[in-house]
Amino acid sequence: MDQATRGVLKVARSVLEQLDVEQVLERVLDAARELTGARYAALGVLDESRDGLARFLTRGIDEEQRREIGSLPTGRGVLGELIRNPVPLRLEDVGSHRYSYGFPVGHPPMSSFLGVPIMVRGEPYGNLYLTEKDSGQAFTQDDEEGAMLLADFAGVAIDHARRFSGFESQRLQLERTVQALDATIQIARAVGGETDLAAILELVAKRGRALVSAKMLIIELLHGDELELAAGAGDLPRGLLGQRVPLENTVASAALRAGQTQRLTDRLMRARFEQHGIGNLGLTATDGLVVPLVFRNHPYGVLVALDHLGQGAFDVEHERLLESLAASAATAVATAQSAADERHRQRVAAAEAERSRWARELHDETLQALGSLRLILSTAQRSGDAERMRAAVGQGLEQLELDITTLRSLITELRPTALDQLGLEAALTALIDRARRSGLEVDAEVRLAYEDGRAGERLAGELETTVYRIVQEALTNAGKHGEATRITVAVVEEEAALHVAVSDDGRGFDPGATTSGFGLEGMRERVELLGGQVSVQSVPQEGTSVVATLPVTRRPAADASGGASPAQPSSPRSRA
């Protein structure tokens, strides 16, 4: 169990034990610091008129500092801005904000700032303030979303604590709130840490189902005018997930249009359920909640909870819990989908760059050769002299022979079959052998985890191709431009990084100078698209070295066929 999870459980336990607003506030402060890495955290509680602060709780400031600062803020300046306008506020430097009054004497320096409102039953209750992110950088979008989820939870917990404090019999209600906090924070962390949508949705489905004791919980995602049954938990018929249904006339479409949870006990909704959407796939239910997944006014789908397992039906409390879960789930889906879009964009860009590289290569090598062939033949033809014609045809045939060889090697380069079929190590060995046959002395070290039996799966297709192209380009350049005699090649895979280095003893060049070549540029593009780094160093008359470091990514376990890495994400994995 990591520290943050322990922190969450501590909050949970204390809420259960204390039923006390004070305790809730204190725990939320700690959890907020932990989640965002803020050095200081504070929680301001609004006064009755809601235009100032009645209380101000802090973390990270000791007694002595507190005495030095003197009176606590009452809610003017930047804090006042958050009171007047309760939306998240994220600043790189709080002191330079237009509402800032500056800090009182003795106040520790603070620059990065994140403030989010805490609402209780839809009414402003206070604000959560975080300052001085530990990395010395500004707070991120993830921090903001994490803090907002926590503020949402604080609102629910404060409401509970107010309403139920002292009533032992309401312990169950509270337990649910605690579970909701736990689920919320788990999801917040999953969203921050990764963007594997399938895994996140599975987590949401499982936690959601447990939270409201539903027989099943299904997450439907919107794709144009269809809903995809993207994830689910509980007693689901086989083959249900992955199916798509038309959005039209479904309960989901009503929920999304109204922006409100719909109940299957409603007569109209029941009719929709029975005739359209998932009800049409053979699912039956006597009760159900259909909650819209909306993030920043954009609809992403719905959470559907079917049939309550305990005695009685779903109640308003279940509805509220599911709605708070839906808020974090929608954030998760939005984040993951924008990441997937970004990956798609990058793949398209890489393919585009690749195509233009080959267009250039074909232009330079083949088109130029054909041009000179035409020149030879047409000059001879114009002369009208039989002897010259015969000589030109002979020369032309020779030229053609050469062009065919060039074209053939271009085609082999375009798709290195050795890489596909035999893997990276064998393909690199073949490259190095070819360089040796052309007269270069090559020292090579290739250590790859899969080939050495340290890893179960091959490297991702894009990564293999990139490493191959770096070595290929560097070897070609060393021979062609550097006229090198000795080259060392090292391709070494460590835990999370792959290091590639190719050094030659050739004549070197000025890497800062712009050239018309595309080799080094293409190398940089490929490496950057994979999130790696490359540097080219060269000293005239001493040699050139190309050094790259790339993050290790592997093919999913199922794909043993080779080729490019699959576009589909791996199947949902359990995270529980």
Residues in contact with 89: Cβ distance below 8 Å, sequence separation at least 6, in sequence order: 78, 81, 82, 113, 114, 115, 116
With CB under 6 A as the contact rule, the residue among 277, 519, 532, 572 that binds ligand ADP is 519
Reduce the secondary structure of 224-270 to three states and give it as a string: CCEEEEEEEEECCCCCCCCCEEECCCCHHHHHHHHCCCEECCCHHHH
Contact status, residue 440 vs residue 484, Cβ threshold 8 Å? yes
Contact status, residue 123 vs residue 37, Cβ threshold 8 Å? no
Contact status, residue 112 vs residue 133, Cβ threshold 8 Å? yes
Q: How many CA atoms lie within 13 A of 60 on its CB side?
A: 23
Contact status, residue 427 vs residue 418, Cβ threshold 8 Å? yes
Closest to 461 (Cα-Cα) out of 532, 549, 556, 356: 556
Q: Is 519 in the site for Mg ion (CB under 5 A)?
A: yes
Q: Which does 293 bind (CB under 5 to 8 A by kind): Mg ion, ligand ADP, none?
A: none
With respect to ligand ADP, which residue has the nearer C-beta, 516 or 574?
516
With respect to Mg ion, which residue has the nearer C-beta, 328 or 477?
477
Q: Is 481 in the site for ligand ADP (CB under 6 A)?
A: yes
User: Residue with the closest Cβ to ligand ADP?
Assistant: 517
With respect to ligand ADP, which residue has the nearer C-beta, 81 or 525?
525
CA distances from 426 to 278, 404, 421 (A): 51, 26, 9
Closest to 451 (Cα-Cα) out of 367, 574, 554: 554
Stretch that binds Mg ion, among 20-28, 166-174, 460-468, 473-481 (CB under 5 A): 473-481
Q: How many CA atoms lie within 13 A of 213 on its CB side?
A: 14
Stretch that binds ligand ADP, among 240-248, 297-305, 412-420, 477-485 (CB under 6 A): 477-485
With respect to ligand ADP, which residue has the nearer C-beta, 38 or 487?
487
Strand ranges across the sheet with 226-234:
244-246, 226-234, 214-223, 298-308, 288-295, 262-263
Q: Which does 215 bind (CB under 5 to 8 A by kind): Mg ion, ligand ADP, none?
A: none
Residue with tokens 């431009």: 481
With CB under 6 A as the contact rule, the residue among 103, 164, 358, 509 that binds ligand ADP is 509
Closest to 250 (Cα-Cα) out of 265, 231, 237, 269: 269
Q: Which of residues 229-248 bind ligand ADP (CB under 6 A)?
A: none
Helix (H, G, I), strand (E, B) or coil at 409: helix
Stretch that binds Mg ion, among 323-331, 517-525, 530-538, 552-560 (CB under 5 A): 517-525
User: Taking the complex as a whole, how short is the minimal distance between the CB of residue 517 and ligand ADP, in angstroms?
Assistant: 2
With respect to ligand ADP, which residue has the nearer C-beta, 544 or 565?
544
Residue with tokens 């509970």: 160
Stretch that binds ligand ADP, among 51-59, 167-175, 350-358, 501-509 (CB under 6 A): 501-509
User: Taking the complex as a whole, how short is the minimal distance between the CB of residue 510 and ligand ADP, in angstroms?
Assistant: 8
Q: Which of residues 18-37 bind Mg ion (CB under 5 A)?
A: none
Closest to 121 (Cα-Cα) out of 150, 158, 89: 158
Rounded Cα–Cα distance for residues 212 and 318 (Å): 5
With CB under 6 A as the contact rule, the residue among 86, 506, 532, 572 that binds ligand ADP is 506
Rounded Cα–Cα distance for residues 519 and 319 (Å): 59
With CB under 6 A as the contact rule, the residue among 9, 57, 520, 552 that binds ligand ADP is 520
With respect to ligand ADP, which residue has the nearer C-beta, 497 or 539?
539
Which pair of tokens denotes residue 462?
Answer: 């894009």
DSSP annotation of 162 reads: H
Rounded Cα–Cα distance for residues 455 and 132 (Å): 41
Stretch that binds ligand ADP, among 218-226, 343-351, 464-472, 512-520 (CB under 6 A): 512-520
Q: Is 275 in the site for ligand ADP (CB under 6 A)?
A: no
Q: Is 538 in the site for Mg ion (CB under 5 A)?
A: no
User: Taking the complex as a whole, how short is the minimal distance between the CB of residue 482 and ligand ADP, in angstroms?
Assistant: 3
User: Taking the complex as a whole, how short is the minimal distance between the CB of residue 509 and ligand ADP, in angstroms?
Assistant: 4
CA distances from 418 to 57, 429, 464, 468 (A): 65, 10, 11, 11
Stretch that binds Mg ion, among 29-37, 341-349, 398-406, 518-526 (CB under 5 A): 518-526
Any alpha helices (H) in 264-367, and if so which ranges?
A: 267-275, 316-362
Radius of gyration of the chain (CA): 32
Q: Which does 504 bind (CB under 5 to 8 A by kind): ligand ADP, Mg ion, none?
A: ligand ADP
Contact status, residue 500 vs residue 491, Cβ threshold 8 Å? yes
Q: Is 477 in the site for Mg ion (CB under 5 A)?
A: yes
Q: Which does 347 bind (CB under 5 to 8 A by kind): Mg ion, ligand ADP, none?
A: none
Q: Is 544 in the site for ligand ADP (CB under 6 A)?
A: yes
Q: Is 192 in the site for Mg ion (CB under 5 A)?
A: no
Contact status, residue 552 vs residue 498, Cβ threshold 8 Å? yes
With respect to ligand ADP, which residue has the nearer C-beta, 128 or 546?
546
With CB under 6 A as the contact rule, the residue among 477, 501, 548, 572 that binds ligand ADP is 477
Stretch that binds Mg ion, among 316-324, 371-379, 515-523, 536-544 (CB under 5 A): 515-523
Q: Which helix (H) or strand (E) holds 128?
A: strand 123-133
Q: Length of the chain, please?
A: 576
User: Taking the complex as a whole, how short is the minimal distance between the CB of residue 187 and Mg ion, in angstroms?
Assistant: 48
Q: Is 517 in the site for ligand ADP (CB under 6 A)?
A: yes
With respect to Mg ion, which residue has the nearer C-beta, 115 or 519?
519
129 strand-pairing partners: 42, 115
Stretch that binds ligand ADP, among 72-80, 336-344, 386-394, 472-480 (CB under 6 A): 472-480
Which pair of tokens denotes residue 130?
Answer: 């975080």
Q: Which does 481 bind (CB under 5 to 8 A by kind): ligand ADP, Mg ion, none?
A: ligand ADP
Rounded Cα–Cα distance for residues 424 and 428 (Å): 6
User: Taking the complex as a whole, how short is the minimal distance between the CB of residue 430 and ligand ADP, in angstroms?
Assistant: 21
User: Taking the complex as a whole, how short is the minimal distance between the CB of residue 135 and ligand ADP, in angstroms?
Assistant: 36
Query: Given the rule CB under 6 A, which residues bind ligand ADP?
Result: 473, 477-478, 481-482, 504, 506-509, 515, 517-521, 544
Interface residues with Mg ion (CB under 5 A) are 477, 519
